[in-house]
Each structure stands twice: as C-alpha cells, then as structure tokens.
Amino acid sequence: MKLLNIQQIREWDAFTVRHEPVSSPDLMERAGRACTDYLIRHFSREYAFLVFCGLGNNGGDGLVIARLLAGYGYRVDVVVLKHANRRSDDFSLNLKRLENVPEVPVHEVVSGDQLAALPGRDKNAEMQEPDSGSRMVIIDALLGSGISKPLEGLLAETVNYINNSGRQVISIDVPTGLPADIEQWNAAIYKNLVTAHTTLTFQVPKTSFLFPDAGRFCGTLSVLDIGLHTDFLPGLSSDMEYIDKAFIDPLIKPRHKFDHKGNFGHALLVAGSRGKNGAAILAARACLRSGAGLLSVGVPQHSYPILQTAVPEAMVLPDNSDDYPVFSFGPGKYTAVGVGAGIGTEAKTLEGYKRFLQALRKPVVIDADGLNLLAGLLKTEPGFRIPENSVLTPHVKEFSRLAGEAGNSYERFHHLREFAATHQAHVLLKGAHSCLAAPDGTCYFNSTGNPAMAKGGSGDVLTGMITALLAQGYNPRDAALLGMYFHGKAGDSAARKRPASAVIASDIIEEISIEVSTA
Ligand SMILES: NC(=O)C1=CN([C@@H]2O[C@H](COP(=O)(O)OP(=O)(O)OC[C@H]3O[C@@H](n4cnc5c(N)ncnc54)[C@H](OP(=O)(O)O)[C@@H]3O)[C@@H](O)[C@H]2O)[C@@H](O)CC1
Ligand SMILES: Nc1ncnc2c1ncn2[C@@H]1O[C@H](COP(=O)(O)OP(=O)(O)O)[C@@H](O)[C@H]1O
Ligand SMILES: [K+]
C-alpha cells in the first residue's frame, strides 16, 4: 500500500466522490460505519461512550459514530467543542441528524470550566460502585488530518482533560493535535496532543504514525478500509510503501511437487562466539524454518558440539579458532550467507571478516557485530565496499555506528535513505515499524510485529529468516521484505499465545510460517 501525504489523501477523497460516485456525507457515513463496526466488535454493551467532537469533518465522523452506536443500544454522550466559529457542512448535517436521536445527549462546551461537569468525570466512584454506571470509553473526534497549527486554549485544555481522564481513549483517524504528515512534525512545537490507546485511521496509515517520536501518540493502530476508489492509486507517485498482506502475497514462490532440497539453496550462517552460541542456534533454527534447502553454520571450535546437538538439521563448519570466529573458511559454494549475530569484535575476527567480505560474491545478510565491524571498516578504510546484494539489518544503535547520530527519528530516516543509496545496499532499520530502504530510494515500512518482540534474540531470528530467503533465490529486496513481514507476523502469533512479557525468541521461531495465508 502506498503511503500518502494529507494533500494526496484529500485528492483521493474527492476523486472517490466524483468517480464512484458517492456523496460526501455518504463517505463520512462509511467512515463512521467502519469505526462503529470496530467498536461493537471490541466492546460489549457494558461500556458507554463519551464522544468528543470538533467542528470539522473529524467531528462529523464522531457524530456519525455516536448515532450508529446508539442504534446498537449503547449508552452514548456527545461533547461538541465550540473551538471556532466555522463548522464543516457534513458536521452540521450530522448534528441535525443527531437531533432525531433523543437518547444521545449533546453537551456543548465553550469554556474549559464546563469540562468538569461532563459525564463520567469521576472514574473512582464508578470503580467503587460498579452498578452505578458503565465503564466509559472516550472517542476522540476533535480534530483529524485538518490541523493547521498547534493546539491552544479550549482545545489544549480538552486534550489535557482527555489524557488525564484515566479512560481508554480511541482516536478517530488521527490523535487530535498530531500533524498527520511527518514533515510537519516538530516535538518542540506540538505539545498538546491526545495520547490514544488505539487509533482507527482511514484507508492508509498517516506517515507520522510510523516514526517513534510522533507515532507513540497513536497506541495500537488499526487501518480501516472505507472503500476509497482504487483507480486513483496508479497515477500517484510515492516512494514510501506500507507492507501488508496484499503487497506480500504475490512475492511468495510456491513449492512444486518434484522440488528437492537442491532447489532451495545452501545457506551459510557465521554466528556465535563463547557466551553467545544462542545467537547461532536461534539464527540457524529460524533459517531452517524459513525454507533453506541446506544449512551450514560456521562456528568456533568450542561451539561445534553445542550446534550439532541444538540444531541436528544443520551441518557445522568448525573454524580455526576456539572462542570466536576467524573465518578460516571462505564464502565457498554457498548460495547465500548470513553473518554477524554474536560473533564479537575481536581483532582476529575483524581480520578474517574483512577477507571474507572482500571475497564474497553471494547475497549476504549482515547483522549485529557484523555491522559494528563493518562500521569500523568503512571509517578506517575509505575504499572498502559493502558487498553487492547485501541486506544490512541494524537496530537504531547499530545504524548510528554506521551512519552517525541523528537528532530525531525523521532525520534518521533521511540518513537511512542516503546510506542505502550511497552504498547500493538494502538497509533494514529495525523497530516497531521496521523500515527497509532500497538503493533506489524506495522505503518500505512494516505493518506486523509487536512489543513482545523487544527481547534479546529476536534480531537473530530475523537474520536467519532473510538468509534462508536469499538462499532460495529471492532477490535482496524481496528477501528482506518477506523476512521483515513474516518475522513480525510470527511475533504476533507468539503474542497471542502468551503475555507479551513472556514471549521469547524461540517462540517466534515456532510460529514462522512463510506462506500465502487465508486470514
Ligand atoms: N478521505 C478520508 O480519509 C476521509 C476523511 N474524513 C474525516 O475528515 C477529517 C478531516 O477533516 P477536516 O479537513 O474538516 O479537518 P478536521 O481535522 O476535522 O479539523 C479542521 C477544523 O479544525 C480547525 N483547526 C485545525 N487546526 C486547528 C488548531 N490547531 N486550532 C484550532 N482549530 C484548528 C480548522 O480550522 P482552519 O485551520 O481551517 O482555520 C477546521 O475548522 C479526517 O481526519 C477524517 O476524520 C471522513 O469523514 C471521510 C473520508
Ligand atoms: N515494539 C516492537 N514492535 C514491533 N517489533 C519489534 C518491537 N521491538 C522489537 N521488535 C522487533 O524485534 C527485533 C529486535 O531485533 P534486535 O534489536 O536486533 O534484537 P537482538 O539483537 O537482541 O536480537 C527487530 O526485528 C524488531 O523490529
Ligand atoms: K481525532
């Protein structure tokens, strides 16, 4: 899915109105309907809703949601915040429609002192007397993608009220006060924003949601299809993609009846050192679960029995050293290589690693200490070149060793693009929305994964997965995208079986399933 800026989303909206055709109020109805469907799936009628509406179209969405929820028998109160004189036509129309639903009280707020009189203000009383009222959820439909400046006055006070309410907050389209385009975001200026538990956004994620500094205000993100006209998309230019099932499924190559292991490549992983054999084991298991035909693992000698025992499906290639790898073997006959997880940064490792990379003519994934050593090589040896067909998988700290520190996540994104282009490498910056930068400047943001994966060893699993995909003949871009997407998906499956804090990297491996899914 292409990622668009707000101007493009507005044009898409207008295109849909003209070409479907659909009236603008009907499109708003559709948006409100999609949110309501989500809400009734997630909340029983024991919950009540307090819907905060601004005077623009985001507020209009809130009014539709309130009307529809009431139709399903939920208790709903609406707060209309009179923060300006103007109101949008579709807002006015929906306020009129709500007049025909007498069971939904509408509270007009013109000044901050009225906030204290709103329903559900005393959460503690409700907790002590469970029968006295339903659990209340706040719907934030104050402002959406239309914000033009930082919030002040009544809007800022209301945002503050919402954030301190102790209630679950669900933002419609955009958390109020957050600029939707990352170019507009500036943490020093935008200080009054809703911090949502969930954001229900229309059609596409907004770019600011994907960067940690700004995206942290969104909570869990849910992208709702409101049926904007797909004919609009081919004519659009965007060098940012959001990777979802529709993008990924066509990339997957099927297996055929007469296939044999020789068709799926021979991967080589060079990983682990004394005290870090776990990295080699995790990468090796993940590699095998991701479809490599054969796997050899190059390890220092003390690791030999450990690997043979822990991963019987893999062959083990003992190095000419006891504690850490020195790359006494060459890149040889292998189809693809994964290098770096847990190898350490000893001088002898660096020496062997440099020779190894210079001789390498196969696709390679470089991770962890492999990246730290590479950062040193790029600094001390100006002529040193990253091998062709490389996929680099740094986390933020590793990336800053390669490309320098950045002041914020958007600046880091520019460094990422620049680095991928300069070195003609695919660089996958890991995080909540991992981002793959391709040498041609296109950036691909991941949609899968969750905080259960924030634990040592998750990255080693990703290395093993991408190595396997390269070994099977996927080009570096597709191997990195499939690895990134299915790694997150495996993490999501693992997190459905256990609390997030209890998920470990081995659980992610158990859930790896690289296939076209029906769900
Ligand atoms: N295609 C789609 O995806 C669809 C989108 N839809 C919905 O439309 C929403 C966008 O609606 P929108 O353009 O009316 O803008 P919205 O966010 O309601 O606010 C604008 C109002 O707020 C004002 N204002 C702004 N900043 C301010 C500030 N700091 N302080 C004070 N005032 C400020 C601004 O005033 P102005 O800047 O013009 O003076 C104007 O009056 C979108 O998020 C989604 O929910 C769906 O209904 C259908 C399909
Ligand atoms: N909050 C999160 N949401 C989604 N994915 C996450 C989150 N935290 C970590 N991950 C994923 O887990 C992996 C962690 O990798 P890394 O930091 O290299 O860990 P390690 O080196 O300890 O194995 C990355 O692929 C990252 O995208
Ligand atoms: K909002």
Ligand nearest to the CA of 368: 2
State the pLDDT confidence band at 129, using cuts at 50, 70 and 90.
very low
Per-residue pLDDT reduced to its tens digit, 459-517: 999 999 999 999 999 999 999 999 999 999 999 999 999 999 999 999 999 999 999 98
Give the position of tokens 């994907």: 210
| Cα 52 from Cα 60, distance rounded (Å) | 10
The interface pTM score, or ipTM, of the predicted complex is: 0.92
Across 341-351, average pLDDT: 97
Q: What per-residue confidence (pLDDT) applies to 235?
A: 82
Ligand 3 centroid to Cα of residue 46, in Å, is 24
Q: What per-residue confidence (pLDDT) applies to 130?
A: 47
Ligand 3 centroid to Cα of residue 222, in Å, is 14
CATH 3.40.1190.20: which residues of the chain?
263-510
Q: Which atom of ligand 2 is nearest to the CA of 488?
A: 5
DSSP string, 29-60: HHHHHHHHHHHHHH--TTEEEEEEE-SSHHHH
State the pLDDT confidence band at 126, using cuts at 50, 70 and 90.
low
Q: Between vectors from CA 234 to CA 230 and to CA 239, what angle results, nearest 5°?
A: 115
Ligand 2 centroid to Cα of residue 489, in Å, is 13
DSSP state of 132: G
Q: What per-residue confidence (pLDDT) applies to 128?
A: 45
Give the position of tokens 């770096």: 340
Question: 162, 135 in Cβ contact below 8 A?
Answer: no
Q: What per-residue confidence (pLDDT) applies to 172?
A: 98
Q: What per-residue confidence (pLDDT) applies to 54?
A: 98
| Cα 374 from Cα 367, distance rounded (Å) | 10
Sheet containing strand 426-429, edge to edge, reads 240-243, 443-446, 435-437, 426-429, 390-392, 364-366, 336-339, 266-270, 294-299, 315-318
Is 335's pLDDT higher than 50? yes
Across 287-307, average pLDDT: 98
| CATH 3.40.50.10260 holds for 6-238 | yes
Question: 158, 142 in Cβ contact below 8 A?
Answer: yes
Collapsing DSSP states into helix, strand and coil, what is residue 342?
Answer: coil
Query: Which residues touch 122 (CB under 8 Å, ≥6 apart)?
Result: none
Q: Which atom of ligand 2 is nearest to the CA of 484?
A: 25
Q: What residue owns the CA closest to ligand 1's atom 33?
A: 147
Question: 180, 149 in Cβ contact below 8 A?
Answer: no
HSE toward the beta carbon, residue 298, CA cutoff 13 A? 28
60 is in an annotated binding site: yes
Q: What residue owns the CA closest to ligand 2's atom 22?
A: 456
DSSP state of 302: G
CATH 3.40.50.10260: which residues of the chain?
6-238
Tokens of 462: 């990703």
Is residue 158 left, alpha or beta, with left meaning phi > 0 and alpha meaning psi from -120 to 50?
alpha
Per-residue pLDDT reduced to its tens digit, 503-512: 999 999 999 9
| Cα 332 from Cα 319, distance rounded (Å) | 14
| Cα 354 from Cα 48, distance rounded (Å) | 63
Across 167-173, average pLDDT: 97
Q: What residue owns the CA closest to ligand 1's atom 25?
A: 147
Collapsing DSSP states into helix, strand and coil, what is residue 120?
Answer: coil
HSE toward the beta carbon, residue 364, CA cutoff 13 A? 24
* Ligand 1 site-directed mutation target among 7, 53, 148, 204, most atoms within 8 Å of CB: 148
Pocket (CB within 6 angstroms of ligand 1): 9, 13, 27-28, 31, 54-61, 83-84, 86, 88, 143-151, 155, 172-174, 202-203
Pocket (CB within 6 angstroms of ligand 2): 368, 395, 430-432, 434, 449-451, 453-454, 456-460, 462, 487-488
Across 268-278, average pLDDT: 98
Across 151-162, average pLDDT: 97
**Averaged pLDDT of the chain:** 95
| Cα 67 from Cα 78, distance rounded (Å) | 10
Q: What is the CA radius of gyration of the chain?
A: 26
Per-residue pLDDT reduced to its tens digit, 96-112: 999 999 999 999 999 99
Question: 63, 95 in Cβ contact below 8 A?
Answer: yes
Class of domain 263-510: alpha beta
Across 26-33, average pLDDT: 98
